[in-house]
Amino acid sequence: MHPFSRRSLLKTGAAFAATFAAPSLVRAAPKEIVIGGPAGAAKYFNADLFPVLEKKLDCKVLYEGTNSLTNLQKMQADKASPKISVVIMDDPVMLPAAAEGLITKMSSSSIANLGRLVDGAVHQDGLWANYQKPWAGIAYSSKRMKTAPVSWADLWDAKYESKIIVPSLSNTEGFWTLLAAAHLETGKPYKEAQYDIDAAFKKVKSLKANLLNVYTNAPQAINLLEQGEAWMIGGQFSAYTLIRKADGSPVDLAIPADGGFAMPSGIAKVTNGPAGDVADAVIDFFLSPEAQTILADKAFVAPTNQGTPRPAGFPDPAQLFAPDWAFFAKNRAGWVDRWSKEMT
């Protein structure tokens, strides 16, 4: 188990060192490395992935789980003396991190699996790479709903008053509800509707009567769905929902007939971060078939290494819409502010 608290891990390490003071009798302490990543991934990272990584690399992982924007803010604050060595963030948040020089170029000479990924998985000449591809749709309570939602318009159906949860725009997955709203308001396909943000806000504001909550903490939102207090969560990831279903929770994920979304997840090396050689090895591990097989099985995400088979039942990524992340990243801060003003 890997607790989130760095302090507690350091205290444990200090106690261990004090007990075994004779250097000749102890094995060298494993290297520590801080990885920043999504809070929603902490469960399967800690239970299934990090034990394999730590044994393979003889290192100790200190995991800082939060949302991508918070990790970006940490990196901005610590730019002169980074604490995080490897960061895992959504692609739209990687864009400003790259623009500000917070992440550094990776090379296949030190990260061999970088050259074995599917087309389009390596970005900006190696500044970050996609280690997995979750997909997004509508999560729903299979206890409350006997049939799966079939359209994004279902979120707006008046019979679901105070039964719907959507992510805040502070979370990247919040964009899916906004994009679906633009599509419903304009009647345009996603490719065109994504640029009609005024129409998107007009439509999403009309969802207020149906909202039970707007979340920034994905695990708490899933808990409400499991308990049956919420009936649907708009714009939810396979990695958050299907793992709960596999554990026996009465939840499921639907890809609406009007389309689901692809959400490539990126991994990058922090500029001037500590433990640089271990950081390369950690990133290579995340990009390996060994790690991606674990993630596909435990987290329901599509692999990106060409040597990792796509499990049966996973959607065809070519059928999922991938938005213009550069446009999203350029406008996100203003949209988040507008969301705060218009959705409260």
Give the rounded distance of the alpha carbon of 104 from its chain centre. Answer: 20
Are 123 and 94 in contact by the 8 Å Cβ rule? The answer is yes
Q: What pLDDT is recorded for position 319?
A: 79
Tally of domains within the chain = 2
Cα distances (angstroms) measured from residue 98 to each of 65, 89, 284, 343: 20, 12, 20, 30
- Residues 36, 78: one domain? yes
Q: What pLDDT is recorded for position 22?
A: 37
Q: What pLDDT is recorded for position 309?
A: 86
CATH number of the domain residue 222 falls in: 3.40.190.10
pLDDT tens digits for 38-78? 887 898 899 999 999 999 999 999 999 988 888 999 999 99
Strand duo 122-123 + 128-132: pairing? antiparallel
- Residues 209, 177: one domain? yes
- Residues 172, 208: one domain? yes
Q: What pLDDT is recorded for position 27?
A: 44
Domain that holds residue 287: 31-133+264-313
* Residue whose structure tokens are 């990247």: 172
Eight-state DSSP code of residue 171:
S
- Residues 98, 129: one domain? yes
Domain for residue 7, yes or no? no
Eight-state DSSP code of residue 147:
S
270 forms beta bridges with 103
- Residues 336, 295: one domain? no
Domain for residue 103, yes or no? yes
Q: What pLDDT is recorded for position 30?
A: 53
With the CA atoms of 129, 134, 137 and 140 taken in that order, what torsion angle do they form, in degrees rounded to the nearest 10? -140
Domain for residue 214, yes or no? yes
- Residues 66, 172: one domain? no
The CB density around residue 6, as the number of other CB atoms within 10 Å, is 14
Domain for residue 61, yes or no? yes
Rounded to whole angstroms, the Cα distance separating 296 from 260 reads 18
- Residues 207, 291: one domain? no
Domain for residue 217, yes or no? yes
* Residue whose structure tokens are 């969301």: 339
- Residues 165, 223: one domain? yes
Domain for residue 1, yes or no? no
Domain for residue 25, yes or no? no
Cα distances (angstroms) measured from residue 13 to each of 1, 10, 31: 15, 5, 11
Domain for residue 11, yes or no? no
Is 0.75 topped by the overall pTM? no
- Residues 146, 255: one domain? yes
Q: How many residues does the chain have?
A: 344
- Residues 124, 152: one domain? no
Q: 3-state SS string over 239-250?
A: HHHHHHHHCCCC
Q: What pLDDT is recorded for position 118?
A: 87
Tokens of 88: 């895992």
- Residues 218, 332: one domain? yes
Q: What pLDDT is recorded for position 9?
A: 37
For 175, the enclosing helix (H) or strand (E) is helix 174-186
Q: What pLDDT is recorded for position 7?
A: 41
Q: What pLDDT is recorded for position 171?
A: 85
- Residues 280, 237: one domain? no
Per-residue pLDDT for the chain (344 aa), expressed as one digit of tens each?
343 344 443 343 444 333 333 333 344 555 899 999 988 789 889 999 999 999 999 999 999 998 888 899 999 999 999 999 999 998 888 999 999 999 999 999 999 999 999 888 999 999 999 998 889 999 999 999 999 999 999 999 999 999 999 999 888 889 999 999 999 999 999 999 999 999 999 999 999 999 999 998 888 899 999 999 999 999 998 888 998 999 999 999 999 999 999 888 899 999 999 988 999 999 999 999 999 999 999 889 888 999 998 888 888 767 789 888 889 888 988 999 999 999 87
Tokens of 338: 């507008």
